[in-house]
Amino acid sequence: MTPLKITDLTKRYEKLVAVDHVTFSIAPGEIFGLLGPNGAGKTTIISSIVTLQSPSSGTIEVFGNDVRKNPRAAKFAMGFVPQELIHHGFFTVEEILKFHATNFGAKVSKDYRDYLLERLHLYHHRHKLVSQLSGGMKRRLLIVKALLHHPKLLLLDEPTAGVDIELRHTLWDFIRELKQEKISVLLTTHYLEEAEALCDRIGILNHGRLLSIDTTPTLLKNHSRKEVTLTLLSPVSISSPYLTRHEEHRLTFHVPNDMPLKMLLNETGLSFENIDDIHTKQGTLEEVMMTVLNGRK
């Protein structure tokens, strides 16, 4: 059964259309990235999925349960990690988790709770007040809370915002482990390297519209260019549509990501005998975003 299926979702606020007829689905064990600038509609979509907002039209199904017609079943099937940190300052980590489990009527064993705390390096902080935790610890605690009731769909809204590089990579590894356990993930992030490292597919939003959706490699292939810099032994005079910079002994080209070097040399008439050094740089998701958002091919 499809973990998440969104069909023709629209959300209007008077004259503002925050989400404009968005349709996509997430497969079992898939990490799906929802990307876009501020105000693109990402948080509105997630808020609609978790029933914090009601869409103007369209449907959202979580494992076949319509979130408006059967919200309880839908909520039991998913976990949600919001952008905002928790502020239950008068409770300990363990107390918060016990209380949260009762919201789902879930019988969470101490072993499973401790297992999650251990995996996210919070076990030795379980008796601390939440107010005593660092920002990174609070963010990890949100993830533990979201997984307590064994959901098979996890919504992560900017999960690594404001954390240091080491913790960010720790969370990346943990998200990859969830994929191995067939847990589906919907991820929003402003860190494009994070989306590129984690996501199987990516949807790019702007002004509420889903502009492009595809696998990460396909987006990189179709909407970015590979940079090839050749250092020459002797200067040459050439003309090429791929040539973006021409210095006396150095040529820089931007070519399709899948173009072999031999094809570029054939196209330009250059020979290996005159090349002293070759440097290539693959296209990035940042380039993809700029291309898609600006409507370029």
- Selection from 3-12, 77-86, 88-97, 264-273 with the highest mean pLDDT: 3-12
Mean pLDDT of 203-228: 94
With vertex at residue 47, the alpha carbon angle to CA 41 and CA 52, rounded to the nearest 5 degrees, is: 140
> pLDDT tens digit string along 122-147?
999 999 999 999 888 999 999 999 99
Supply the pLDDT for residue 296: 59
**pLDDT greater than 60 at residue 297:** no
Supply the pLDDT for residue 14: 87
- The residues spanned by each domain of the chain are 1-77+151-224+285-297, 88-147, 225-281
SS3 240: coil
Confidence of residue 106 (pLDDT cuts 50, 70, 90): low
Mean pLDDT of 146-168: 91
Q: At a CB cut-off of 8 Å and minimum separation 6, what does 180 contact?
A: 29
> pLDDT tens digit string along 45-93?
999 999 999 999 999 999 999 999 999 999 999 999 998 887 777 899 9
Supply the pLDDT for residue 258: 83
**pLDDT greater than 70 at residue 167:** yes
**pLDDT greater than 70 at residue 209:** yes
CATH of domain 1-77+151-224+285-297: 3.40.50.300
